[in-house]
């Protein structure tokens, strides 16, 4: 298994292991962003913040796509725009062929970077909240919530309130709350950031299992390069702000994979490729000198 990389802004035959066959070219396009820019308006007379773009992105149906990039480069902005939560300054977004604007379309589930469970509801009521609001029948709610609680390892805490949980457990409640809605496109913004390394690995495997079983399309934002390399079919690397997609790395992992993929030789090639690409961008983002070397 060999990784393939397209560095979008670089000459095509430099730094490339193997050229991608055109991302999502032959597959059905599930979501698409075209000419997206997001400029946050100025506050207090200063200039606006050009956070993102221009970005063009196509997600194939059933693809597992990750985005990595330096802190503050516009990753959360990219996710918010794709989810319909933040209007792009330029460009347009399609999900299942329909224009996305103003609200999260049915079929799209979002796990936010700093998600919060409702403090007045128990774990199971938090997870059931969206289903009940959607008028789902009680037996179906129970079935899906029980599955999600097992999946997230929260069985012993189903009657607990968020204040009685650890930060990582609260985040698992928020992930479960989104997954029970059975979204066809799952957008996750650093969902495992609050978890310890072992739990992160296990949750990654569970996420892969869920992805395989449901056939959902996934876009995962992460700062953990090993996580991106382990989970994804394809990884987009973002530049320092304003965030643009500067490389597209295909892993070529089999669909039936888990964290053991980390032992593959090409896993190391992918993570070092990611690290090399990100190093200069991170130095730029931090405003430090000496990006070369
Ligand atoms: N609502 C907003 N109003 C004004 N500026 C914003 C807003 N949201 C984000 N920004 C700015 O846009 C830029 C990108 O922010 P964003 O949160 O998308 O970055 P990020 O890549 O997700 O960062 P991190 O890795 O730290 O989560 C930052 O400079 C940030 O200050
Ligand atoms: Mg963010």
Question: Is 77 close to ligand 1, i.e. is its CB under 6 Å away?
Answer: yes
Contact 91, 33 (CB under 8 A): yes
Q: Which atom of ligand 1 is nearest the CA belonging to 49?
A: 5
CA of 47 to the centre of ligand 1 (A): 15
Contact 64, 204 (CB under 8 A): no
Q: At 34, give phi and psi (nearest 5°).
A: -130, 125
Measured by CA distance, the residue closest to atom 25 of ligand 1 is 71
Q: How many CB atoms lie within 10 A of CB 288?
A: 9
Question: Is 49 close to ligand 1, i.e. is its CB under 6 Å away?
Answer: yes
CA of 246 to the centre of ligand 2 (A): 18
124: CB partners within 8 A, 6+ apart? 145, 149, 158, 159
For the chain, 293 residues long, give each residue's pLDDT as a single digit of tens: 455 555 554 333 323 333 343 444 467 999 999 999 999 988 877 788 999 989 999 999 999 999 999 999 999 999 999 999 999 999 999 999 999 988 899 999 999 877 789 999 999 999 999 999 999 999 999 999 999 998 888 999 999 999 999 888 888 899 899 999 999 999 999 988 877 888 888 888 888 988 998 899 999 999 899 999 999 999 999 999 999 999 999 999 999 998 888 888 999 999 999 999 999 888 877 776 544 43
CATH topology of domain 4-107+186-285: Rossmann fold (3.40.50)
Question: Is 241 close to ligand 1, i.e. is its CB under 6 Å away?
Answer: yes
What's the whole-model pTM score? 0.88
Task: Please give the C-alpha separations between residue 191 and each of 130, 168, 231, in angstroms, as whole numbers.
Answer: 19, 10, 13
Residue extent(s) of CATH 3.40.50.300 domains in the chain: 4-107+186-285
Question: Is 71 close to ligand 1, i.e. is its CB under 6 Å away?
Answer: yes
Cα-Cα-Cα-Cα dihedral sign, residues 248, 250, 255, 260: negative
What is the Cα–Cα distance from 151 to 132, expressed in whole angstroms? 20
Q: Which atom of ligand 1 is nearest the CA belonging to 86?
A: 1
């Amino acid at each position: 298994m060999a990784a393939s990389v397209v560095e979008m802004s670089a000459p095509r035959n430099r730094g490339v292991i193997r050229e991608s066959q055109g991302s999502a070219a032959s597959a059905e396009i599930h979501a698409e962003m075209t000419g997206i820019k997001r400029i946050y308006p100025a506050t207090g007379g200063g200039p606006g913040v050009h956070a993102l773009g221009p970005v063009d992105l196509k997600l194939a149906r059933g693809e597992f796509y990750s985005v990595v990039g330096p802190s503050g480069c516009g990753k959360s902005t990219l996710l918010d725009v794709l989810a319909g939560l933040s209007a792009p300054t330029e460009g347009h977004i399609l999900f299942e062929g329909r224009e996305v604007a103003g609200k999260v379309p049915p079929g799209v589930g979002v796990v936010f970077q700093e998600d919060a469970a409702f403090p007045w509801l128990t774990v199971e009521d938090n997870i059931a909240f969206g289903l009940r609001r959607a008028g789902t029948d009680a037996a179906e709610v129970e079935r899906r919530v029980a599955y999600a609680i097992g999946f997230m390892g929260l069985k012993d805490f189903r009657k607990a309130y968020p204040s009685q949980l650890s930060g990582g457990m609260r985040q698992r409640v928020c992930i479960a709350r989104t997954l029970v809605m059975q979204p066809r496109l799952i957008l996750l913004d650093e969902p495992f950031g609050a978890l310890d390394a072992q739990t992160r690995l296990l949750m990654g495997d569970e996420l892969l299992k869920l992805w395989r079983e449901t056939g959902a399309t996934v876009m995962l934002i992460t700062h953990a390069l090993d996580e991106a390399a382990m989970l994804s079919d394809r990884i987009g690397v973002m530049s320092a702000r304003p965030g643009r997609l500067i490389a597209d790395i295909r892993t070529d992992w089999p669909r039936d994979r888990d964290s053991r993929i980390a032992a593959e030789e090409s896993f190391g090639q992918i993570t070092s490729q990611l690290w090399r690409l990100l190093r200069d961008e991170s130095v730029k983002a931090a405003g430090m000198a000496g990006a070369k070397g």
